[in-house]
Structure 1
Amino acid sequence: MANTRATVARVLYAVVHQKQQLKPALSKAISQFPDAQDRAWVQSVCYHSIRHFYQLQARWQKFTPKKVKDELVSLILTSALTQKFHLHTPDHAIVNEAIKALRKLKKPWACGLANKVLRLALKDDDFQPGHDEERYNHPQWLIDAIKQDWPNDYQQILTANVQKPPMWVRLNTTTEMPGDAHPYIQHALKIPASDIREIPEFRQGQLSVQDASAQLAAYLLDPQSGEKILDVCAAPGGKTCHLLQLCPDIELTAVEKNADRINSIQENLERIRAQATIVQGDATKPENWAHGQHFDKILADVPCSATGVIRRHPDIKLHRQPQDIKDLVRLQRNILQAISALLPVNGTLLYATCSVLAQENWQQMADFLNKNKNFEEQKIQLKGPIHQQHGIQIRTGDDDADGFYYCLLKKIAA
């Protein structure tokens, strides 16, 4: 057990201090454990620790007069409280295993400190968050940004961000299986969390893992027989596959800049037995890969802050910085300007992000439409999402789906 606790601390160190992404850091670390229960336990503690990081730290720091400078020791204390308040592990086991893990990590000098601090923190039923970071488990700048854009809904969004997300799958048109259907997104089904690779329908290509909000993209673009469609920033290929499943006889080109992620598009296509042209290319420089082509429709699911999928990737809260948003808004603007030139008159562009921030969403669209008078917005007629000045917004947690934004544009002049 001490080995699992030490592994948790190392994963958290990689994420918190080395700024590694949680999912790959965790995947690499748990590969050493042959027991599936050990792997699941380490994963659970790591995810809960990152989701509730600010409050967990505050709980034990209350009992340390001086800052604990050793990061691994600090993370052992944080993950110990995760076990108490989110996994309901007995107190004596938490303390004993934390001390064993400290010895495993060659930190014997910290055993007395951990013993004292944990015994006090584990029994502290009167803890009250001191400020917003501890209350909502987000950095203050992000709380402020969401509060500014959603003054009446920010608490709902922040609360949804720290919940464990459900498993949504996308069924093909003929598959049926038990689960909870989405109220307005066809073939989106919420099923009990499990190892998806063990579900026969997944192996047979009859269902794909994709959040309900993301599934809306293909329906909004509405592929029709014979159309040439471009999917930029396409990895991992979920929307690419969905477009082909809705209309197999389209001519689809999927463009992805990151060479490491192109394989995921191909793997997803092979699993559902579909074909598309896959191109490695920069969406801001279509002159290097479009070769004069025009497309009837374009899906631009652009790089964004990912503030709508924090519950799936809680490390976003620790890694993202205010300057990142400015850089992403600039990148989005450049992508839009570049690829919009690939549309003929009457062509359609669907802009999408997994963000809940206005500057990446409706404000980005307002800027584009102001500068490009040869485009107009096509209003999306759906009752479920929130209709913005431009486009529609699904807030994180709405109908238990991820936060997502869509805006549909039509080219009206050359």
Structure 2
Amino acid sequence: MTTASSKNTNKKGAARAAAAKALFAVLEQKRSLTAVLPEVQASLEGADKGWVQTVCFQVLRELPRYEWLIQQLVDKPLKKKVRIIHSLLLVGLCQFRSLQTPPHAILAETVEAARILKQKPLTGLVNGVLRSYQRQQEALETQVLQRYSLAQCFPRWLRERVTEAWPEHAEQVFAASQEKPPLWLRVNVKHIEPSAYLELLQKEGIGAIQHPTLSSAIRLEKPIDVKQLPHFDEGFLSVQDISAQWAARLLEPKPGQRVLDACAAPGGKTAHIAELAETIELDAVELEASRIERMEQNFERLNVNANVLCQDASAPETWWNGKPYDRILLDAPCSATGVIRRHPDIKWLRQNADIAALVQLQSDILEACWSMLAPGGRLVYATCSLLPEENDKQIQNFIAKHDNANYVIDTTFSSVHVRGGQILPGEDAGDGFFYAILEKAKKN
């Protein structure tokens, strides 16, 4: 006879199994957590979907600590064909370490997850390892925290690069990159004034704070499901980090201009540009076809218009009509080291060897975009990276090669300036971002 208790254990076991599958995909198959989560969450119900994401984020934020704990508790590494159990042990330990789950439930549901994962012979191992941790938890936690500081929860190559680039701010960067980010909104000024939307939130009992400089940016005091926000479906707002909201503002699009968003997905910055200047001719170029449908759906929700092109921004000869752009936003492909708090898998997917290739790609796209910019036009170069090679050094090298490139100083968004402004993670409660404003000299 199946009891209500056993049904609940099966349901919770399914969530644990899903979390293990997600971690396995990231750590063993090197897949992006953003791509994996919807797959493993598909068969789960509301609360369990959020639970899976919470566990994955927590484990990936502190992965070296978790791996050390498993080394103390498991005699020898698990063989490749049963490696999914290693990921399941990470899930079980996370429940003990970070979630308010009763120990008996952790044991029962994690063992059930092993069965769901078709690893019934290893249920005894799972049970034994978790019970062993439960008995030794205090001593093990004392040791693991002594061995692994926040900085040591980052791979060595990244730790060394950040420390070299930002010696006075490195600890701040490591700490902020481990925190849960706040929920920032961008009010669509085509539909409503930001102050009026703030009043709507207050009437709904939703605590929120308006940014002192970017008036359309509102930070919620507590994150909630966006579907619960007033008029979300009608396009009154978007979810966008405060640091990303500077892009369209720095671009300063004007009515009647031709504007290009060169690497447009997921489309938040494109939409913001359209909200600020309605009568522009706006092209949004995106190389990945799989991302375009979602962009267009979001534009429809917000009631903004953009000509979306599935093209390569580094090869304008294949799609550009030769008519120069007055404004170009280049949010370049990058290491994403400034947004680790939102994507903790970046720490374990990105490799040191990737940086040189990214720097070359950025340079290629920047050169291509410059060729499409009208004399007197403005180009905003942006990344969500913390690494100078992708940021100010990239801009310094570019300016050295182009006599007609003028760097524009704007100190409103960042206190750290070389050739561009760096926003560090946590600064202004935002993500790590870099911006450089370049203007092309007018012809004599």
What TM-score do the two structures reach when normalised by structure 1?
0.94
Instruction: Provide the residue aligned with 1:340 in structure 2.
Output: 370
Q: 1:359: how far off? A: 0.7
How far apart are residue 67 of structure 1 and its match? 2.3
Q: What does 1:203-282 align with in structure 2 at a 5 Å threshold?
A: 203-282=233-312
Structure 1 match to 2:175 = 159
Between the aligned partners of 2:316 and 2:284, the Cα distance in structure 1 is 12
Q: Which amino acid aligns with 1:357?
A: L
Q: Does 1:29 align with 2:40?
A: yes
1:99 corresponds to which residue? 111
SS of residue matched to 1:393: strand
Task: Indicate conservation of the 8 Å contact 1:54/1:134, yes or no.
Answer: no
Which amino acid in structure 1 is aligned with residue 400 of structure 2? Answer: N
Alignment of 1:6-405 (within 5 A): 6-33=17-44, 35-69=45-79, 70-122=82-134, 123-125=136-138, 126-129=142-145, 136-173=152-189, 174-175=193-194, 176-177=197-198, 178=201, 179-191=208-220, 192-382=222-412, 384-405=413-434
**Offset at residue 143 of structure 1 (A):** 1.1
Shift of 1:66: 2.2
1:134 shift after superposition: 7.3
1:2 to 8, 13, 23: 13
User: How far has the Cα of 1:161 moved from its partner?
Assistant: 1.6
How far 1:236 moved relative to its partner? 1.5
- In the alignment, the residues of structure 2 paired with residue 200 and residue 185 of structure 1 have an alpha-carbon distance, to the nearest angstrom, of 20
Give the aligned residue type for 1:113: L
Question: Cα deviation per residue 1:383-405 (whole Å; 9 max; x = unaligned)?
Answer: x5133211101111112111110
More deviation, 307-316/206-215: 307-316
**3-state SS of the aligned residue for 2:373?**
coil
In 2, the alpha carbon distance for the partners of 1:290 and 1:319 equals 34
Distance in 2 separating the partners of 1:128 and 1:42: 24
Segment of structure 1 superposing worse, 47-56 or 279-288: 47-56
How many angstroms does 1:51 deviate by?
2.0
* CA–CA distance in structure 2, aligned partners of residues 171 and 143 of structure 1: 36
Q: 1:85/1:256 Cα in 2 relative to 1: closer, same or farther (>3 Å)?
A: same
Alignment coverage as a number of residue pairs: 412
Residue 62 of structure 1 aligns to a residue in which SS?
helix
Q: For 2:16, what is the secondary structure of its paired residue?
A: helix
Asked whether the equivalents of residues 133 and 139 of structure 1 are also in contact (C-alpha less than 8 Å), the reply is: no
Residues in 1 aligned to 2:55 and 2:411: alpha-carbon distance in whole angstroms: 42
Alpha carbons 2:335, 2:384 under 8 Å: kept:
yes
CA drift of 1:207 comes to 0.6
Once the two structures are overlaid, the 10-residue window that deviates more, 170-179 or 389-398, is 170-179
1:58 shift after superposition: 1.3
Letter of the 2:219 partner, please give it. Answer: K
* CA deviation map 1:359-413 (0-9, x unaligned): 111111011011112101010131x513321110111111211111000001115
For 2:205, the equivalent position in structure 1 comes to none
Deviates more, 1:165-174 or 1:99-108: 99-108
SS at match of 2:418: coil
Contact 1:375 1:413 in 2 (8 A): no
- CA distance in 2 between counterparts of 1:253 and 1:2 reads 47
CA spacing shift, 1:149–1:316, aligned 2, 3 Å:
same
Secondary structure of 2:341's partner?
coil
- The one-letter amino acid of 1:71's match is R
| 1:244 Cα offset (Å) | 1.3
Of stretches 346-355 and 93-102 in structure 1, the one that deviates more from structure 2 is 93-102
Residues 55 and 133, structure 1, Cα contact 8 Å, conserved in 2: no
- Residue 140 of structure 1 aligns with an amino acid whose one-letter code is R
Give the AA of the match of 1:124.
Q
Runs of 4+ with deviation above 6 angstroms: none
Separation in 2 of the partners of 1:265 and 1:103? 40
- Indicate the percent of aligned positions where both proteins have the same amino acid: 39
Q: Which runs of 5+ in 1 are unaligned?
A: none
* Aligned CA distance change for structure 1 residues 59 and 9 (closer, same or farther; 3 Å): same
CA shift digits 1:217-276 (9 cap, x unpaired): 111111111111111001121111111111111111111111111222212221111212
Give me the whole-angstrom Cα distance separating, in 2, the residues matched to 1:129 and 1:413: 58
SS of the aligned residue for 1:208 comes to strand
The residue type equivalent to 1:206 in the other structure is F
CA distance in 2, matches of 1:249, 1:313: 35
**Structure 2: distance between partners of 1:65 and 1:130:** 22
Root-mean-square deviation (CA, aligned residues, Å) is: 1.8
CA distance in 2, matches of 1:25, 1:94: 24
CA distance in structure 1 between the partners assigned to 2:132 and 2:168 by the alignment: 37
Distance 1:220 1:249 in 2: 18
* Aligned equivalents of 1:120, 1:303: Cα separation in 2: 45
How far apart in 1 are the matches of 2:369 and 2:299?
24
Do 2:260 and 2:328's aligned partners in 1 also have CA atoms closer than 8 Å?
yes
SS at match of 2:17: helix
- Once residues 126 and 407 of structure 2 are traced to their aligned partners in structure 1, the CA distance between those partners, rounded to angstroms, is 59
Match of 2:3 in 1: none
- Match of 2:8? none
AA matched with 2:187: L
Taking a change above 3 Å as real, the CA distance of residues 134 and 391 of structure 1, as seen in their structure-2 partners, is closer
Q: Is the 8 A contact 1:378 1:410 kept in 2?
A: yes
Residue identity in the other structure for 1:167:
L
